[in-house]
Amino acid sequence: MIPLISRLSLTDYLVVVLLYVETAISSVLGLIPQPVFNFFHSIISYSVNTDDSTIEEKLRECPTIHEMCALFGIAVEDHLVRTEDNYILTLHRIAPQPGTFNGKAVYLHHGLLMCSDVWVCQADRGKNLPFVLHDMGYDVWMGNNRGNKYSTAHLYYPPKSNKFWDFSIDEFAFFDIPNSIQFVLDFVKVPKVLCIGFSQGSAQMFAAFSLDEKLNQKVSQFIAIAPAMTPKRLHNSLADTIAKSSPSLMYLFFGRNIILPSAVTWQRTIHPTVFNKLIDLGNRILFNWKSFNITPQQKLACYAKLYSTTSVKSIVHWFQILRSQKFSMFEESDDMFNSMTRPYMIPTFPTRTNIKIPILLIYGGNDLLVDIKVMKRNLPATSVFDVMVEGHEHLDLIWGQYTDTLVIAKVLKFVAFFDSIGAAGLSPGSRRNSILNDDPEVLAPTASVTSSNGSPLNVPRLLNGVPISPRNSSGGLPPMASSHTLTAKVLLSPGTAAQSRTSPLSQSIRRDSTEATEVDPLVTPGQDADDIAQEQDLQEQPYDDALEDIREEVEEDLDDLDDDDEDADAPDSFLDEATVQQNKRQRRRLTRYLSNEA
């Protein structure tokens, strides 16, 4: 503790004191009924001419994801999953409309201090990734971590007990991710699922895939949006100092149960415009995020869904990773001196050797939490693709005003690329831990769809899950080259084994949103009537039909994808030269395909 104290300034001590004062004030405010705050909020809104009828305001007021999706005419189901260590998780499902199912399921997982709400916060329907996938015929599932507002149940421990909150990223990876994915596979009855993670959701999937070889065989592709693995540092010196100090300091500040439980109280107490300013200030202090790509109106909806409960221990786990700069498992006996003198090593997640899934990393160029060079060194070299979104930060990639063209389009292109290869005759048993041999005829065509700002949005042209009129009619492909032959045993740290190893008992409950509120599409300045009409058409019919109508415009994206025979980098030692050259050329081809905007 002494080294830490010597590094704190007078201002830092003041912050610590204010933290305790804030806890006391929030406890008092928590006793005041919500209608009292609503009354004062209405007075402030009237005085500043705030429009409560906007879609952003309606989204902000929705208590759950069911009401949020109902604003867009979409019904949501609840499904309960019992994990192997007896937590009860809630999965949210958007079932495909009758006659539109493309035979595929997708599983999305949220980030740190979040829940499934974050996926459907955008006022523009076409900027919510689950809605786009739903329109394309996917069976869409959104997961929730143990401890957040949708998953606060356990068979034996009440939420008020310390034992309920005794979990870290390890438990997310050991149980929550694999048990949720298995439930989706069993329910939909498909052999594989497409996985998409945001921030910590990506980290949980990296960890889960590295620990379970069989889980790799159940996932077709993995897309990591704003992926987190080994952040460099926090922008604020005090926060960075606390993060790299002994966990006992965190436990002293926040206890051992819920992290920042007062956040909910402040959210309902402070007027939304003021609350948003405070969130922006906090993000700027901690991460140097300026959030210029998220409009003030959009923040009204998104920031209200930014916080959901989790354990202090999971935050401490991130701080251990931050200090060690290794994506490692939780260290139970961690303290400042033990870290320097311990006679053992904390195991790291074997992400480089054990993950055998095609991976796409989409990250912001201004995101302090993403160290892309370190991340790529810790992932399989020949099966990982990365796309940088210039001028964007962490939250911009799901809530920014250009997510449709800069993020969603990349997701759809990546999935279509590998799906088209499978449709062309790749055997189901082939290993998917490397890039395919060079074949220019299997790239998925794209269709030009108008986005919300009137610009063309290229999305893969699919019909029932496979490309329409694939350019490769032969159906033949050489087998995939294996880029990794090494395997590693599953590593389990002491104390993380489940108390009960019985098979998960999964239950499902259907909860449909009974009323769907119609919302007029937002009109972006510069849009003409034709653009708006086309958007309405796309929202009202499945993408299969919409893309069929514009199939004449699908060839342009592929015109520039000629063979690129540039010299490749030095090959990995365990691959022959010809295979490496093929892998390199295919990587360049897909990279250019993903970077093609128009």
The string of DSSP letters for 9-50 reads -HHHHHHHHHHHHHHHHHHHHTTS-HHHHHHHHHHHHHHTT-
Give the contacts of 582 (CB within 8 A, at least 6 positions apart).
437, 438, 481
Q: Which of 165, 145, 113 is nearest to 308 (CA)?
A: 113
In percent, the amount of the chain with pLDDT more than 70 equals: 60
**pLDDT for res 43:** 61
Q: What is the pLDDT of residues 386-429, one digit of tens each?
A: 999 999 999 999 999 999 999 999 999 999 998 877 655 443 33
Report the relative pairing of strands 359-364 and 384-389 from DSSP bridges: parallel
Q: Which residues are catalytic?
A: 199, 367, 394
Residue 559 lies in a domain: yes
What is the rounded CA–CA span in Å between residue 413 and residue 567? 26
Residue 553 lies in a domain: yes
Element (H, E) at 89: strand 87-94
Give how far Cα 331 sits from Cα of 87, 246, 327, 492, Å.
Answer: 22, 11, 12, 12
**Residues 404 and 455 sit within 8 Å (Cβ to Cβ):** no
Q: Which of 334, 370, 309, 294 is nearest to 148 (CA)?
A: 309
Q: Which of 120, 124, 116, 117 is nearest to 54 (CA)?
A: 124
**pLDDT for res 36:** 58
Instruction: State the chain's mean pLDDT as an integer.
Output: 74
Residue 522 lies in a domain: no
Residue owning tokens 């909860």: 511
Higher pLDDT, 184 or 558: 184
Residue 314 lies in a domain: no
Helix, strand, or coil (residue 102):
coil
Residue 91: CB atoms within 10 Å: 23
Helix, strand, or coil (residue 190):
coil
Residue owning tokens 């084994």: 497
**Residues 100 and 542 sit within 8 Å (Cβ to Cβ):** yes
Higher pLDDT, 31 or 356: 356
**pLDDT for res 87:** 98
**pLDDT for res 13:** 65
Residue 512 lies in a domain: no
Residue 96 lies in a domain: yes
Give the contacts of 523 (CB within 8 A, at least 6 positions apart).
532
**Residues 183 and 214 sit within 8 Å (Cβ to Cβ):** no
Residue 302 lies in a domain: no
Residue 388 lies in a domain: yes
- Determine the straight-line distance between the first and last CA of the chain, rounded to whole angstroms: 56
Q: Which of 346, 355, 412, 419 is nearest to 381 (CA)?
A: 355
Backbone angles phi, psi at 134, to 5 degrees: -60, -45
How many domains is the chain built from? 1
- Burial of 509 (C-beta count, 10 Å sphere; 0-12/13-18/19+): exposed
Q: What is the pLDDT of residues 45-66, one digit of tens each?
A: 555 555 567 999 999 999 999 9
Evaluate if residue 511 carries a pLDDT over 60.
Answer: no
Higher pLDDT, 544 or 366: 366
Residue owning tokens 């005041």: 32
Higher pLDDT, 462 or 135: 135
| Structural domain containing residue 101 | 69-232+346-496+539-595
**Which segment of 335-339, 456-460, 485-489, 550-554 scores lowest on mean pLDDT?**
485-489
Sign of the torsion formed by the C-alpha atoms of 136, 138, 144 and 149: positive
What CATH number is attached to the domain comprising 432?
A: 3.40.50.1820
Q: Does pTM top 0.95 for this prediction?
A: no
What is the rounded CA–CA span in Å between residue 322 and residue 310? 18
| Residue 478 identity | P
Which ranges in 219-260 belong to alpha helices (H)? 237-243, 247-254
Higher pLDDT, 378 or 485: 378
What is the rounded CA–CA span in Å between residue 450 and residue 457? 6
**Residues 138 and 97 sit within 8 Å (Cβ to Cβ):** no
pLDDT winner (highest mean) among 182-191, 266-275, 370-379, 429-438: 182-191
DSSP track, 68-84: HHHTTT---EEEEEE-T
